[in-house]
Amino acid sequence: MADAVSYAPPALASSPSKAEVTDKILITDVNIFDGNSEKLAMSMNVLIEGNKIAKIAKTIPADDDMKVIEGGGRTLLPGFIEAHGHLQLNVGALQTIFATADYLGALALYEAKNTLMRGFTTMRDVGGSVFGIKRAIDEGYFPGPRIYASGPPISMTAGHGDYRTSITLPRQLGGSSHSELEILGITAFADGVPEVLSAARMNMRSGAAFLKMYVGGAVSGLYDPLDVVEYSFDEVKAAADEAERWNTYLAVHTYTDAATQTAIKAGAKSLEHCNLISEKTVKMAVKNDCYISAQTGVFLAPAPPSFTPDQKARQQEAADGLDNLMKLCKKHNAKVAFGSDLLMDLEIKKTLNDEFTLRKKWFSNAEILKQATAINGEILALSGPRNPYSGKIGVIEEGALADILLVNGNPLEDISILTKPEENLSLIMKDGKIYKNKVN
């Protein structure tokens, strides 16, 4: 593997683009949130060997070949996981369509570093062409989170991913064989079962860890109100079955009962958004062992300036449904994921960590932390043999991957400290490599 450090100018030698690599790292005197427990394990030591957690104990003797980090009573917890991110989408829709691929890639790498420095050592990217971004990060050329990528989401004509003009003909009716959206890898258009299968297989050929499909209307869509069911049962089932044949799973964009129930019956396992579903649908999701990938900030934030009145009204409708959704999820012990869906604005993406405090209306601090770590880790594991990273993520336990944060303070008591990662994240480690160390 090429030496990423050699590409950085001398002035950046101490920046997060240069990860600190040590074969053995001993972190002493920390209070551990393991991803699942509601209480901290107090005054513990953690030994990292290579890229995995080798030992957790009250006492671990230090050897001469170890780098010792004195935790000083800080809280140690797993690196956060962003379950619904879009690294490719950092500017508005029109700017994206008219941008060059290298510009979008440069912005994605910039935001990947920002994401890592906010404590998110892993991102599930649920829409966009980020396979090259992922490769550059994995090979050590740029800092960023681990990326589980779906590739371009599968969209029908007039569906959520369709930002073509209303007079642009689809290829089936004599239009261009590929739109700008497809060339940039933002959307994979597919109408009918054969095309859905082709789009799904194209993404798997590109290295997708799972598949993503738009099965219902959208807040930001041009042609699809929230009440629309965008794909037939047979089309959704074709995608879900294809994912299963690849030993992975299907994630679906959905808001309403009709769209969500269609997706569950067809075999989808990750239900993105779901703001407007009823108790019946929540119970169906729980019965079928589905994850509800909910977000708050994207709906509660001010509407982007580019939004039309219709889009603003749909954002408000989705926001109004959040309270009912979260209460029903809590009531029925649904598996709720932690994600943001922040997109099309780098300034808005700076609010990513506000997701921790926005959920306090419905969940305890421990429940929120579990969503951002262990539960999201369970979703990543659904990729099975398509998982691009070998090892367990989202927990602090022996044998798990060494994605570790040290926090100044106790987020189980005051989760708001996580909204200031620059001040309160004193250590950021991904894959056993240190990207930030303000401890010693």
Q: What's the rounded Cα separation, in Å, for the pair 123 and 110?
A: 14
Quote the longest CA-to-CA distance of the chain: 71
Q: Which of 303, 405, 423 is nearest to 79 (CA)?
A: 405
Q: Map out the domains of the chain as residue ranges.
A: 4-79+392-437, 81-386
Residue given tokens 């075999």 in the structure block: 267
Of 168 and 269, the structure prediction assigns the larger pLDDT to 269
Compute the average pLDDT of residues 338-357: 94
174 torsion bin: left (phi>0), alpha (psi -120 to 50), beta (else): left
Residue 232 CA to residue 5 CA, distance in Å, equals 50
Among 49-63, 133-147, 294-308, 354-368, the range scoring the smallest mean pLDDT is: 294-308
pLDDT band at 195 (very low <50, low <70, confident <90, very high): very high
What b/e sequence results for 278-292 when a residue is b if at least 16 CB atoms lie within 10 Å of its CB, and e otherwise? Answer: eeebbebbbeeebbb
Tokens encoding 168: 């642009």
Q: Is the pTM of this model over 0.85?
A: yes
Over residues 235-252, the pLDDT tens digits come to 999 999 999 999 999 999
Q: Is there a contact between 64 and 48 (Cβ–Cβ < 8 Å)?
A: no
Q: In the predicted model, what is the mean pLDDT of residues 13-23?
A: 59
Q: How far is CA 324 from CA 141, 225, 226, 318, 321, in A?
A: 44, 20, 17, 11, 6
128: phi then psi, degrees, rounded to nearest 5: 140, 165
Is the pLDDT at 261 greater than 70? The verdict is yes
Average pLDDT over residues 32-48: 97
Q: How much is the pLDDT for 11?
A: 35
10 alpha carbon, distance to own chain's centre: 33
* Partners of residue 404 on adjacent β-strands: 78, 429
**pLDDT of the residue at 6:** 36
CA distance 28 to 319: 43
What is the CATH topology of the domain spanning 81-386? TIM Barrel (3.20.20)
Q: What is the pLDDT of residue 97?
A: 83
Instruction: Domain 4-79+392-437: give its CATH code.
Output: 2.30.40.10
d(CA 135, CA 168): 34
Q: What is the mean pLDDT of the chain?
A: 92
With a cut of 60, say whether residue 46 has pLDDT above it: yes
Q: Would the pLDDT of 152 be above 70?
A: yes
> What's the pLDDT band for 18 if we cut at 50, 70, 90?
low
* DSSP H or E segment with residue 148: strand 146-149
Burial class, 74, CB count within 10 angstroms (exposed 0-12 / middle 13-18 / buried 19+): buried
- pLDDT bracket for residue 13 (50, 70, 90): very low
